[in-house]
């Protein structure tokens, strides 16, 4: 039996014709500097060839299928790849729905639910209990039930009554979303000004005259005077209701119940400013529109965020409603399921024991992968890349498959050091089932736990693409060529931080923060320092920094806390999260950083371009003129496959080059605009030396560890960590003379240890220039090198939300209740 996966001559992207053997049924870690070729080897080569060979075995490979550039791969197994990209963007998808735990709950409540009678208020037991089935009922779970106390007939419970996606169960006010949209009137009106003076903020000069004429006509129709020179706040109730809601609104009609409304706009049929905004917002489906910035989400006043009708919320099993279980942490939901199973009578057990046992099993897997702090009603779109990956990994754990090749991309991303131990055990359990577990990882803990390590490098982009060392950790540490081995070898001699900055003597004070799980937290943030907000997953770090601190600054009022003071008036806030920065195929690194605009102008200035009368527009693949019209500048065309997903292949006209031939003939040192887009940031440094604007952005991308990205690389291929560092580089490239406060969400995600050192130099540069940097971080090296640490915990979810320790890293180590302090002590002291 072949006990290795043998790869020969891999040449995809930056891989330099490499050959290697990957041992089967082992925990294998692929590591190396960012951009060294790890993902190319694991995903673009190994995973793609696994899929191709599988489809080929069933005669389903298309002649257009893009084969990986590799001479041969032998010994392959069926593969399952679990990446970090959040693919489910539906606001209705929750942890409970995607794991089917909520589906199981709905069945349990439909079978065992006890509800109060709407007539007498006494309990109506479940169908198998004492209640008599109505005479016309065909089975015990039919459509009608009869109250045993008063005989009142009620509708029988079904799964749909507990679904917020079905009309039977969804709250009528919010349609099962849990929130409603509220128009922010301050974005529409400046009530201190008159209509004529621009008090209606969305009525621009050209539209003001037309709208005001219409408004005056409406007022005249009702015999109502309307002074356009009077401040809006001083208008009478009829005048205000006419301006805000229009002639057909209930609010305005109440003032003139006997007057027939005008039939035409010319005669005064005025819609109302607020009514018009709502109409346009609803017509556009409520997505990202010009109107969407005028709205804010607010908790639904009817269901209070539970998404369900009141009738559904009144049904109980074990004294608990289904919405109460949905709002529990997974850890507490598991305890409820176990307790309910132990208290059911014989009839109920017969119906629900297997359902509750299945629920326990599924939740236990979620706890195994370190997301026990989440709730069943948590929206999937709010998950980070790492959390999303661990959610999918939990389903893999229940499959029981053997002989499978699992390819995982940084499964420990976003995990505290204490949580990583459980994740490592999950990886070992998968291996012990007889599977091969291939992990792309930078975590020192995972690397140390690996059976076999493959170290890629030595650098990024064209400087990488080689296997520079492989074997056990001991073998890598004794291999002088191994970048990773050198880092481990030097860890025992980790230097102490020579000097920690004290700041500028001013603090931002957050008082009584209570958002989500925060428990009346008081925090002082010293300005002029680099500080780390630490704690286990779900402890409240992101809530404190984004939903309280950042939201309060952005909205100009305390959000999620009683008070926030000490914010410098001259300061600007820069928040850089890991949320996706682009889902359009046309958005790439060059367009996002605005470098592409400079590139196009540069190429348009060449004599060859002027001779052909080519302008900067012709060098854009997003507009007609110079782009290839066969693929509309994408470089690929989609082929529709019956019963299979569409596949993309190189455009047969431009051969993936995106542009017309006359545009491609304009070159600089032998390279055209397409060649430049195909180059990595690192490789383009020499070419762009004489162009300060482009060089500045290029240098910053290099400094944040993104030198391996291609200029033309689509943004939807970037991980959360890469997207965040790209946003950081763009922010840093903006001219600013203000004191800036940067809030970064785990900037080390996806970075090798050597790249973390580069990032630290950049962050030091920011602080030394007089700025403040706040990191929500798990990386122990970066935490240790911070000036100040605020440790939140002690646990996740309900068990977190408190300040466990605060001070310098040395102070954190002295606090026995701080998990972060314990791990810092193990590593550095």
Angle (deg, nearest 10), helices 417-432 and 385-397? 30
Domain 507-568+740-828, CATH: 3.40.50.300
747 vs 738: CA distance, rounded Å: 23
The pLDDT score that the predictor gives to residue 65 is: 58
Domain 183-299, CATH: 1.10.8.280
The pLDDT score that the predictor gives to residue 246 is: 96
The DSSP bridge partners found for residue 773 are 530, 742
In this predicted structure, the answer to whether residue 494 has a pLDDT above a threshold of 60 is: no
3-state secondary structure of 164: coil
Task: Say which range, 63-72, 176-185, 737-746, has the weakest mean pLDDT.
Answer: 63-72
For residue 390, give both structure tokens: 């661990």
The pLDDT score that the predictor gives to residue 137 is: 39
Q: Can you tell me the mean pLDDT for 9-32?
A: 96
3-state secondary structure of 286: coil
Q: Which of 503, 504, 510, 508 is nearest to 567 (CA)?
A: 508
Task: Say which range, 205-214, 591-600, 678-687, has the weakest mean pLDDT.
Answer: 205-214
Domain ranges in the chain?
Answer: 4-86+383-491, 95-178+304-359, 183-299, 507-568+740-828, 589-712
Could you tell me the CA-to-CA distances from 360 to 268, 344, 500 in Å, in that order?
64, 15, 48
> Is the CB of residue 731 less than 8 Å from the CB of residue 567?
no
The pLDDT score that the predictor gives to residue 195 is: 95
The rounded percent of the chain whose pLDDT value lies above 90 is 70
**SS3 letters for 344-360?**
CCHHHHHHHHHHHHHHH
Q: Which of 83, 99, 87 is nearest to 43 (CA)?
A: 83
CATH superfamily of 95-178+304-359: ABC transporter ATPase  like domain (1.20.1580.10)
In this predicted structure, the answer to whether residue 141 has a pLDDT above a threshold of 70 is: no
The pLDDT score that the predictor gives to residue 128 is: 63
The pLDDT score that the predictor gives to residue 133 is: 39
821 vs 109: CA distance, rounded Å: 44
- Per-residue burial over 278-301, b = 16 or more CB atoms within 10 Å of its CB, e = otherwise: beebeeeeeeeeebeebbeeeebe
In this predicted structure, the answer to whether residue 819 has a pLDDT above a threshold of 90 is: yes
The pLDDT score that the predictor gives to residue 287 is: 55
The pLDDT score that the predictor gives to residue 360 is: 97
The DSSP bridge partners found for residue 94 are 379
CB-count exposure of residue 382 (10 Å: 0-12, 13-18, 19+)? middle
The DSSP bridge partners found for residue 327 are none
In this predicted structure, the answer to whether residue 642 has a pLDDT above a threshold of 90 is: no
Q: Can you tell me the mean pLDDT for 113-132?
A: 81
The pLDDT score that the predictor gives to residue 136 is: 43
In this predicted structure, the answer to whether residue 725 has a pLDDT above a threshold of 80 is: yes
The pLDDT score that the predictor gives to residue 95 is: 95
- Per-residue model confidence as pLDDT tens digits over 757-784: 889 989 999 999 999 999 999 999 999 9
The pLDDT score that the predictor gives to residue 342 is: 93
In this predicted structure, the answer to whether residue 467 has a pLDDT above a threshold of 70 is: yes
Peptide bond between residue 458 and the one before it cis (omega within 30 degrees of 0): yes
Average pLDDT of the chain is 90
Task: Say which range, 83-87, 107-111, 173-177, 285-289, has the weakest mean pLDDT.
Answer: 285-289
Looking from the CA of 785 toward its CB, the CA atoms found within 13 Å total 16
220 vs 266: CA distance, rounded Å: 11
- Per-residue model confidence as pLDDT tens digits over 352-393: 999 999 999 999 999 989 899 999 999 988 887 778 888 988
Residue 337 — pLDDT band, cuts 50, 70, 90?
very high
In this predicted structure, the answer to whether residue 135 has a pLDDT above a threshold of 60 is: no
Q: How far from chain centre, in Å, is Cα 355?
A: 32
Residue 127 — pLDDT band, cuts 50, 70, 90?
confident
- Per-residue model confidence as pLDDT tens digits over 521-537: 999 999 999 999 999 98
For residue 734, give both structure tokens: 């903006």
**SS3 letters for 172-240?**
CCCCCCCEEEEECHHHCECCCCECCCCCECCCCHHHHHHHHHHHHHHHHHCCCCCCCCCEHHHCCHHHH
The pLDDT score that the predictor gives to residue 282 is: 83
The pLDDT score that the predictor gives to residue 336 is: 97
Query: Which residue reads 């297997």 in tokens?
Result: 354
The pLDDT score that the predictor gives to residue 668 is: 95
Residue 645 — pLDDT band, cuts 50, 70, 90?
low
Residue 264 — pLDDT band, cuts 50, 70, 90?
very high
- Per-residue model confidence as pLDDT tens digits over 31-46: 999 889 999 999 999 9
- Per-residue model confidence as pLDDT tens digits over 550-582: 999 988 889 999 999 999 988 999 998 877 776
- Per-residue model confidence as pLDDT tens digits over 66-100: 688 999 999 999 999 987 766 667 889 999 999 99
For residue 699, give both structure tokens: 């240098």
183-299 shares its CATH topology with 589-712: no
Fold annotation for 4-86+383-491: Rossmann fold (3.40.50)
Higher pLDDT, 721 or 713: 713
Q: Which of 679, 691, 677, 675 is nearest to 605 (CA)?
A: 691
Q: State the CATH architecture for 589-712.
A: Up-down Bundle (1.20)
662 vs 656: CA distance, rounded Å: 15
The pLDDT score that the predictor gives to residue 583 is: 61
Pairing of strands 27-31, 436-440: parallel
Angle (deg, nearest 10), helices 692-703 and 595-604? 140
Could you tell me the CA-to-CA distances from 168 to 123, 308, 312, 545 in Å, in that order?
21, 9, 9, 39
Task: Say which range, 477-486, 508-517, 579-588, 817-826, has the weakest mean pLDDT.
Answer: 579-588
> Is the CB of residue 127 less than 8 Å from the CB of residue 140?
yes
Residue 163 — pLDDT band, cuts 50, 70, 90?
very high
Residue 55 — pLDDT band, cuts 50, 70, 90?
confident
751 vs 762: CA distance, rounded Å: 14
In this predicted structure, the answer to whether residue 62 has a pLDDT above a threshold of 60 is: no
21 vs 8: CA distance, rounded Å: 9
Higher pLDDT, 725 or 137: 725
Quick one: which H or E segment has residue 408?
Answer: strand 405-409
**SS3 letters for 255-269?**
CCCCCCCCCCCCCCC
772 vs 642: CA distance, rounded Å: 55
- Per-residue model confidence as pLDDT tens digits over 187-224: 899 999 999 999 999 998 678 989 999 999 999 999 99
The pLDDT score that the predictor gives to residue 496 is: 56
């Amino acid at each position: 039996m072949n006990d290795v996966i043998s790869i020969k001559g891999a040449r995809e992207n930056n891989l330099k014709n490499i050959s290697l053997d990957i041992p089967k049924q082992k925990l294998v870690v692929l590591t190396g500097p960012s951009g060294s070729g790890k993902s190319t080897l694991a995903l673009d080569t190994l995973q793609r060839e696994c899929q191709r060979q599988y489809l080929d075995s069933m005669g389903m490979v298309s002649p257009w299928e893009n084969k990986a550039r590799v001479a041969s791969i032998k010994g392959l197994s069926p593969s399952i790849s679990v990446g970090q990209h959040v693919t489910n963007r539906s606001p209705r998808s929750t942890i409970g729905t995607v794991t089917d735990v909520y589906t199981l709950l709905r069945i349990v409540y439909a079978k065992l639910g006890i509800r109060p009678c709407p007539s007498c208020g006494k309990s109506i037991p479940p169908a198998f209990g004492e209640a008599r089935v109505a005479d016309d009922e065909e089975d015990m779970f039919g459509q009608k039930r009869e109250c045993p106390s008063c005989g009142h007939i009620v509708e029988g419970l079904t799964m749909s009554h507990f679904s917020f996606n079905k009309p039977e169960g969804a709250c009528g006010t919010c349609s099962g979303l849990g929130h409603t949209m509220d128009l922010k009137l301050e974005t529409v009106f400046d009530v201190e000004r008159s209509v004529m003076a621009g008090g209606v903020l969305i009525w621009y000069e050209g539209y003001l005259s037309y709208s005001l004429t219409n408004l005056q006509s409406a007022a005249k129709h009702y015999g109502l005077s309307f002074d356009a020179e009077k401040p809006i706040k001083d208008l009478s109730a009829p005048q205000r209701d006419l301006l805000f809601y229009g002639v057909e609104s209930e609010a305005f009609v109440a003032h003139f119940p006997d007057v027939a409304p005008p039939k035409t706009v010319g005669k005064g049929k005025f819609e109302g400013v607020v009514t018009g905004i709502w109409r346009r917002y609803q017509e556009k489906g409520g997505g990202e529109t010009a109107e969407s910035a005028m709205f804010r989400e607010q908790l639904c006043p009817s269901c209070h965020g539970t998404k369900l009708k009141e009738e559904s919320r009144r049904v109980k099993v074990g004294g608990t409603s289904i919405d109460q279980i949905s709002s529990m942490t997974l850890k507490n939901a598991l305890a409820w399921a176990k307790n309910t199973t132990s208290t059911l009578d014989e009839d109920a057990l017969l119906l629900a024991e297997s359902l509750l046992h299945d629920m326990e099993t599924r939740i236990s897997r979620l706890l195994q992968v370190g997301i026990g702090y989440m709730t069943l009603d948590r929206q999937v779109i709010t998950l980070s890349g790492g959390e999303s990956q661990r959610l999918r990994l939990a389903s893999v754990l229940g499959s029981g498959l053997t002989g499978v090749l699992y390819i995982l991309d940084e499964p420990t991303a976003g995990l505290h050091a204490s949580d990583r131990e459980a994740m490592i055990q999950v990886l070992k359990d998968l291996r012990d089932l007889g599977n091969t577990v291939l992990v792309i990882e930078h975590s020192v803990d995972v690397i140390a736990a690996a059976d076999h390590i493959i170290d890629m490098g030595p650098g990024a982009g064209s400087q990488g693409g080689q296997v520079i060392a492989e074997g056990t950790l001991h073998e890598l540490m004794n291999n002088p060529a191994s970048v990773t081995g050198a880092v481990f070898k030097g860890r025992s001699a980790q230097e102490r931080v020579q000097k920690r900055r004290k700041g500028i003597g001013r603090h931002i004070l957050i008082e009584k923060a209570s958002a989500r799980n925060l428990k009346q937290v008081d925090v002082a943030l010293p300005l002029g320092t680099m500080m780390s907000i630490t704690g286990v997953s779900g402890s409240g770090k992101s809530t404190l920094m984004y939903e309280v601190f950042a939201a309060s600054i952005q909205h100009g009022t305390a959000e999620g806390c009683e008070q926030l003071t000490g914010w410098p008036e001259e300061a600007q806030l820069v928040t850089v999260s890991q949320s996706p920065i682009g889902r359009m195929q046309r958005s790439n690194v060059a367009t996002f950083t605005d470098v592409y605009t400079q590139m196009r102008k540069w190429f348009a200035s060449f004599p060859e371009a002027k001779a052909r009368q080519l302008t900067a527009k012709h060098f854009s693949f997003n507009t007609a003129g110079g782009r290839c019209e066969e693929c509309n500048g994408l470089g690929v065309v989609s082929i529709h496959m019956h019963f299979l997903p569409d596949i993309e292949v190189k455009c047969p006209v431009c051969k993936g080059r995106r542009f017309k031939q006359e545009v491609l003939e304009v070159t600089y040192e032998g390279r055209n605009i397409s060649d430049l887009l195909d180059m990595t940031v690192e490789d383009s440094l020499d070419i762009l030396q004489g162009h300060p604007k482009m060089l500045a952005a290029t240098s910053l991308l290099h400094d944040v560890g993104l030198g391996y990205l291609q200029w033309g690389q689509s943004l939807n291929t970037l991980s959360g960590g890469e997207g965040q560092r790209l946003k950081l580089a763009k922010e840093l490239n903006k001219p600013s003379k203000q004191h800036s406060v940067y809030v970064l969400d785990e900037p080390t995600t996806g970075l090798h240890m050597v790249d973390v050192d580069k990032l630290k130099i950049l962050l030091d540069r920011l602080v030394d220039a007089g700025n403040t940097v706040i990191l929500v971080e798990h990386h122990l090296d970066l935490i240790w090198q911070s000036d100040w640490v605020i440790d939140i915990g002690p646990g996740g979810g309900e068990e977190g939300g408190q300040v466990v320790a605060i001070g310098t890293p040395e102070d954190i180590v002295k606090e026995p209740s701080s998990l972060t302090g314990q791990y810092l002590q193990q590593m550095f002291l």
